[in-house]
């Protein structure tokens, strides 16, 4: 299962960064957690490797939130996913997180931040599967019926 972007996917984001087309965006994060974390080595910063996948991801998330604030981003909302209504087992997610960035460059700044790089083993240990979908910023008002 995939949990990290390919070089081509990062390059696609980079092609927009710093251009006239760059601007606010939302990254929709879909996470499926392992039952138990699967660290490849000792966890960075110490601590026991015998934790749930969600707990390992939360270790990563604490660092990610600090870096996110530094690059000007914010978590718009997050929630636990409960039932996949349309889709199959591959479409099952445990959590959905919407993260706003002021630009594609800000997202790249977060993704390539050295401090976050140190915390990546927590993310890798905790996630069974992940998807990150780049969305336009959209509107923050509720949809209106026609």
CA 81, CA 39: separation in Å to the nearest integer? 24
Return left, alpha or beta for 45; rule: phi > 0 is left, psi -120 to 50 is alpha, else beta.
left
Q: Of 9, 28, 36, 5, whose CA–CA distance to 93 is shortest?
A: 28
pLDDT band at 65, cuts 50/70/90? Answer: very high
The residue with tokens 């636990």 is: 80
pLDDT above 90 covers a percentage of the chain that reads 77
List pLDDT tens digits, range 71-102: 999 999 999 999 999 988 888 999 999 999 99
Res 143 pLDDT > 70: no
| Matching residue, tokens 């050295």 | 114
Q: CA 99, 101, 127, 130 torsion: positive or negative?
A: positive
Residue 141 has pLDDT above 70, yes or no: no
Is domain 7-136 classified as CATH 3.10.180.10? no
Beta carbons within 10 angstroms of residue 97's beta carbon? 17
Average pLDDT of the chain is 93
Domain ranges for the chain: 7-136
Predicted TM-score (pTM) of the model is: 0.89
Chain segment 29-63, per-residue pLDDT in tens: 999 999 999 999 999 998 999 999 999 999 999 99
pLDDT of res. 140: 66
First-to-last alpha carbon distance for the chain, in angstroms, is: 40
């Amino acid at each position: 299962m995939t949990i990290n972007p390919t070089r081509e996917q990062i390059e696609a984001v980079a092609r927009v960064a710093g251009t006239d087309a760059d601007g606010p965006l939302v990254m929709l994060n879909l996470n499926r957690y392992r039952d138990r974390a699967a660290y490849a080595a000792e966890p960075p910063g110490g601590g026991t490797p015998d934790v749930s996948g969600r707990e390992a991801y939360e270790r990563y998330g604490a660092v990610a939130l600090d870096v996110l604030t530094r690059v000007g981003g914010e978590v718009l909302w997050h929630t636990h996913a409960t039932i996949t209504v349309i889709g199959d087992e591959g479409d099952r997610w445990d959590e959905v997180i919407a993260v706003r960035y002021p630009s594609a460059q800000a997202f790249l700044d977060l993704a390539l931040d050295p401090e976050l790089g140190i915390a990546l083993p927590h993310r890798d240990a905790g996630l069974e599967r992940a998807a990150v979908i780049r969305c336009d910023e959209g509107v923050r008002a509720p949809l209106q019926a026609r």
